[in-house]
Amino acid sequence: MADGTPWRDLAAGARVVVRRRLDAAEAAAAQAEGRGSVWTDVIGVVLSVDDAGLTLRTDAPRDPSPREIRVEGPTIEAAKQIPPRTVRRAR
């Protein structure tokens, strides 16, 4: 963690939130839509970690179709483990 890359310590199977920098095209689209942000958050389950970044399966509460995404290390601003998703039970 001393090298500024605590995401490298995340374990496969952990549920995480990762804040990443948008690439130029994504940032331009955000500006055009009036969002103006250069960051986005990704909630997912870690599938793998390597020197170049993370592979996640998305796991946001409002994401009806999880997908596998790659987050490159240099774009990661912050990453932390979060609790498992709450399972809602019918009444």
Q: Tens of pLDDT along 33-90? A: 887 788 999 999 999 999 999 999 998 777 788 999 999 999 999 999 999 888 777 7
How many domains does the chain fold into? 1
Look at residue 58 and tell me if it is in a domain: yes
- Residue 89: Cβ-neighbour burial (10 angstroms; 0-12, 13-18, 19+): exposed
Range of the domain at 10: 6-81
Look at residue 89 and tell me if it is in a domain: no
Q: Is the pTM of this model over 0.85?
A: no
Look at residue 18 and tell me if it is in a domain: yes
Which residue matches tokens 């055009």?
32
Look at residue 54 and tell me if it is in a domain: yes
Look at residue 67 and tell me if it is in a domain: yes
Look at residue 66 and tell me if it is in a domain: yes
Look at residue 91 and tell me if it is in a domain: no
